[in-house]
Amino acid sequence: MDHLALELKNVSKRFGEHPAVQGVDLQLTPGEVLTLVGPSGCGKTTVLRLIAGFERPDSGEILLGGRSVANRTKFVPPEHRGVGMVFQDYALFPHLTVGDNVAFGLPRAQRDKRAEKVEFMLRLVGLDGRQDAYPQELSGGQRQRVALARALLPQPVLILLDEPLSSLDADLRLKMREELRVLLKGAKLSAVFVTHDQEEALYLGDRLAVMNQGRVEQVGTPEEIFSAPASDFVAEFMGKGDFLPGTSTPAGVQTEIGLIGPAVNAQPGAAVDLVLRADDVQFEADLAGDSIILARHYRGTTNLYRLRLPSGRLLHATASHTVRYRPGTRVRVWAEPGHALPWFARD
Ligand SMILES: Nc1ncnc2c1ncn2[C@@H]1O[C@H](COP(=O)(O)OP(=O)(O)O)[C@@H](O)[C@H]1O
Ligand SMILES: [Mg+2]
C-alpha cells in the first residue's frame, strides 16, 4: 500500500495561552501540492514548523511517509525528517557562490557527487552555468530559485514553502509561480505551499486548505472551495467567483462571451474554466444581446447583477449605481479583466 506523503492528525500547538494551531487534520498524497492559505497570523507558518520539526505539537500526531515523527511519546528532530524548507526571506550566504549555497545542505558522505548534483539542481531551476556567480549578481527571482535548489538538493521526501514569492514584485511573482508549479509537478514533488494570496493558492495547489484562527476550515480542490465554500469565512476570504468554460488560445480564452485575455498557461485548444469575479464582467443593454438580466441587488456604490448567458450559465457582474437595469433587460456581456484570472484545467 502506498503511504500518504504527509498526515497531520488532530494537531494542536499553543504559545503560552495563545492557541496558534487547533486540531488540524491534513493529508497529502505523494506528488501532490497542497496550498495552505489564510490571513496573516492564522497559523500557517506554525503548521509548517510543526511538520519540519522546529516545533513540537502539544497534542496530535504527524506522520511522514507513513512513519510517525511526532506524537505523545515520540519526536523526530528536523535533521532526521528529510523535509526541505524554503522561506520568504530565502537567506543565501552572500560570501558563498551559487554552487556553494546550493551544496550547503549536502551530507558529508555525498561530497564526491557534489559537482554533479549541483549542476543537476541548477539545471532543474533554470540556472545552468551560474554556479560561480555570487547571490548579489542575481535577480530576486534567480536568488529565490537558488534557495529552492538548495532545499531540493538533499532530495527531501517533502518540500515546505513558506510564502516563497511574497518578497518578489508583482510581475516576477506571476512568472515565478508558473515556473514553480511546472517544477514541482515535473519533479513529482510532494509539497505544502503556504501563502496568504488567494490567487496564488488557487493557481499552485492541487488542493487547498483554508485556515482561519488556527483551524483548517476547509480542504478541497480549487473548484470545491470556490463552488461549495464550507463556511462564510471561506466564501469571503477566497472571494466569490463564477466559472466560465472556454478554450485556451494564444491570445486568451475563447468563451461564449468572447475572447478573454490574457492568455493562460495551457496548451492551445485545452478546455479550461476561468474564474470570473463580478467586477471582471461587463455588460450593456443591447436589444440584440443574447444574455438577459435575471436580478439586481443594490450594493451601495454598485449594483450586483445576475446574468443568464445563452448557454443558461449564470454570471455575476457589478455596475455603477448611477444606472439601473431592470430584470428581463437584454444585454451584451463581455469581460476585460486587465489582469490574469484564476483558471483550472477541465477534464
Ligand atoms: N514562537 C512564538 N511565540 C509566540 N507566539 C507565536 C510564535 N509563533 C507564532 N506565534 C503566534 O501564533 C499565531 C500564528 O502565527 P503564524 O503561524 O506565524 O501565522 P501565519 O504564518 O499564518 O501568519 C500568531 O498569533 C503568532 O503571533
Ligand atoms: Mg507565516
The mean predicted confidence, pLDDT, of the chain is 90
Ligand 1 contacts CB of residue 39 (under 6 A): no
Report CA(285)–ligand 2 centroid distance (Å): 47
Instruction: Give pLDDT, residue 131.
Output: 93
Instruction: Give pLDDT, residue 1.
Output: 59
CA-CA distance, 118 to 222, in Å (whole number)? 35
Instruction: Give the sheet arrangement for strand 258-260, strand by strand.
Output: 258-260, 252-255, 242-249, 271-276, 343-345
- Locate the ligand 1 atom nearest the alpha carbon of residue 43 and give its number: 17
Instruction: Give pLDDT, residue 235.
Output: 76
Ligand 1 contacts CB of residue 43 (under 6 A): yes
String of b and e for 106-136 (b: at least 16 CB within 10 Å)? beeeeeeeeeebbeebbebbebeebbeebbe
Please name every residue paired with 59 in a beta bridge, in sequence order, or none if there are none. Answer: 12
Which ligand is closest to the CA of 42, given by its number? Answer: 1
For 164-203, how does the pLDDT look when each residue is reduced to its tens digit (9 = 90+)? 888 777 777 888 888 888 888 888 999 999 999 888 898 8
Report CA(316)–ligand 1 centroid distance (Å): 37
Ligand 1 contacts CB of residue 15 (under 6 A): yes
For 87-127, how does the pLDDT look when each residue is reduced to its tens digit (9 = 90+)? 877 678 999 999 999 998 777 767 778 888 899 889 888 89
Grid cell for residue 215: 483551524
For 267-323, how does the pLDDT look when each residue is reduced to its tens digit (9 = 90+)? 999 999 898 989 899 999 999 999 999 999 887 788 999 999 999 999 999 999 888
Ligand 1 contacts CB of residue 36 (under 6 A): no
Domain ranges of the chain: 6-238, 243-345
Ligand 1 contacts CB of residue 205 (under 6 A): no
Reported as a pLDDT band with limits 50, 70 and 90, residue 74 is very high
The strand ranges marked E within 52-187 are: 59-64, 67-70, 83-86, 158-162
Instruction: Kindly report the number of other CB atoms within 10 A of residue 250's CB atom.
Output: 6
For 19-59, how does the pLDDT look when each residue is reduced to its tens digit (9 = 90+)? 999 999 999 999 999 999 999 999 999 999 999 999 999 99
Instruction: Kindly report the number of other CB atoms within 10 A of residue 332's CB atom.
Output: 16
Instruction: Give pLDDT, residue 217.
Output: 96
The fold of the 6-238 domain, in CATH, is Rossmann fold (3.40.50)
Instruction: Give pLDDT, residue 245.
Output: 94
Ligand 1 contacts CB of residue 160 (under 6 A): no
Residue 347: pLDDT above 70? no
Which of 14, 37, 46 should be mutated for ligand 1, with most atoms under 8 A from CB? 46
Classify domain 243-345 at the CATH class level. mainly beta
Q: Which residue has the cell 525528517?
A: 81
